[in-house]
Structure 1
Amino acid sequence: MILLSVVGLETFYGASQALFGVALEVQEGEVVALMGRNGMGKTTTIRSILGLERPRAGTIHFDGRQITGMRPHRIARLGIGLVPEGRRCFPNLTVLENLVAAARPGDWTVPRIVDLFPRLGERRGQYASTLSGGEQQMLAIGRALMTNPRLLILDEATEGLAPVIRQDIWAAIRTLKGRGQSILVVDKTLSELLPVADRCFVLEKGATVFSGSPAALTAELQDRYLGV
């Protein structure tokens, strides 16, 4: 079943066009990688899906319902959870307060989040501002999961994190995949991203230039679209 479908998406910032017909989809229970060099439209695509930017053309469907141009809070309530680039935890709230701030009823509870990220249990009374970058990323993921989303979107899932913390995040993503969580993930660490992804979509200059399995994303294509 197709959970998220994006077709012909065009988004502008003022007079400047950022997206030129982006197309992608996420099946129920699938992990999809959204890839591309910096500035190629990945975050704009995510912002358009979430209603943070209003597309001028194209359609976005979630769970069979058109959500193009819908207000962000309504889209979130339909079951899309975001882990934003830069984490953006509430600095003056504790770990526990961050987790429950936007919680919605469902299978994901504080004990399950602590089971996924034991460090958060150890630091549940600390303010988010006192956590390391990796711990804040764990908290951002936990906070999104506490909304019990149908689709989890991770924008730059491991950017700027120490290698050992990146491994913890990827282990959590693999665990979520094993539990059937639908995930759309943006990350540049191909060695970790490709093994966990079921499908890949690559953006170049605001357009989808590749869609297919990780195996079909050959070294030549990686060098052409993702190389430095």
Structure 2
Amino acid sequence: MSALLELSRVTAFYGESQALFGVDLQVGEGEAVALMGRNGMGKTTTIRTIMRMLRHSDGSIRFSGRDLGPLASHRVARAGIGLVPEGRRCFAPLSVEENLVSAARSGPWDIAAVTRLFPRLGERLSQKAGLLSGGEQQMLAIGRALMTNPRLLILDEATEGLAPVVRQEIWAAIRDLKSAGLSILVVDKSIRELASVADRCVVLEKGESVWAGATGDLTHDVTARYLGV
């Protein structure tokens, strides 16, 4: 499988404090990869570095063979990476429809496609995003990322803090996206749910890749050592 996204020995700093010490990561075409690790081990920092919200100091980040290093964040998005950030970050004063239209680029993902995936959004197109429930805001954040028509979707803690029934709706949608052939990089705390969608896992420990392999090879010893389970 060819690598769509490839990170090789990536290091990064916040000021003078080093946060990433050597991250290796690949996501293939049509593949779903889980980025795992305890809190504070560098998962969100890795995503911020991919999206060029944080500059890396060493190593390489390539997407579809292109070096992302020189690019600004908006150009990374235009290159085909859609981000669902931790904390949702919808535009609260705007309607659901306006949030979706604000990110729209030409392609199969339009308002009709997004509302088929999340029918609740179709019922609330005129409602202000700030008045949605947490689960609905998360659906909107995913829908907004899909409206960019990405080749790779990155989800950072997409189900954190949501009610169990809503979490299941979100995971069902992610599995549908995977089945449709979209490449996905996902961060979440639920190993069971990650295992239901991810082909492979990459585990971070103190800002470094320490384990990578097929989801079925993620043993109890690995989870106990690196994930605290």
Q: Distance in 1 between matches of 2:97 and 2:78?
A: 21
Moved over 4 A (4+): none
Aligned to 2:10: 9
Q: CA deviation at 1:54?
A: 0.4
Give the aligned partner of residue 173 of structure 2.
172
Q: Once the two structures are superposed, what CA deviation does each residue of 1:23-61 show, in whole Å capped at 9, x if it has no partner?
A: 000000000000000000000000000100000101000
Partner residue in 2 for 1:19: 20
- Is residue 95–residue 126 contact of structure 1 (8 Å, CA) maintained in 2? yes
Structure 2: unaligned runs, 5 residues or longer: none
Aligned alpha-carbon RMSD (Å): 0.7
Q: Counterpart amino acid of 2:24?
A: A
Instruction: Determine whether 1:153 maps to 2:164.
Output: no
Deviation of 1:191 after TM superposition, in Å, equals: 1.0
SS in 2 for 1:56: strand
TM-score (norm: length of structure 1): 0.99
Please report how far the alpha carbon of residue 64 of structure 1 lies from its aligned counterpart in structure 2 after TM superposition: 0.6
1:44 alignment counterpart: 45
Q: Provide Cα deviations, 1:196-225, integer angstroms capped at 9, x if missing partner.
A: 100000000000001001111101110111
Q: How does 1:37-116 map to 2 (within 5 A)?
A: 37-116=38-117
Determine the structure 2 residue equivalent to 1:30: 31
Equivalent position amino acid for 2:7 in 1: V
Deviations 1:46-102 (A, max 9, x none): 000010000010100000111124211111110000000000000000000000001
- Post-superposition Cα deviations, 1:133-155, rounded to whole Å, max 9, x if no partner, equal 00000000000000000100000
Q: Matched residue pairs, number?
A: 228
Residue ranges of structure 1 left out of the alignment (5+ in a row): none
* SS of alignment partner, residue 59 of structure 1: strand
Q: Take 1:46 and 1:106, find their aligned partners in 2: how far apart are those partners?
A: 24
Q: Give the share of equivalent positions with the same residue, in percent.
A: 66
Matched, 1:128 2:129: yes
Q: Which moved more, 1:68-77 or 1:141-150?
A: 68-77
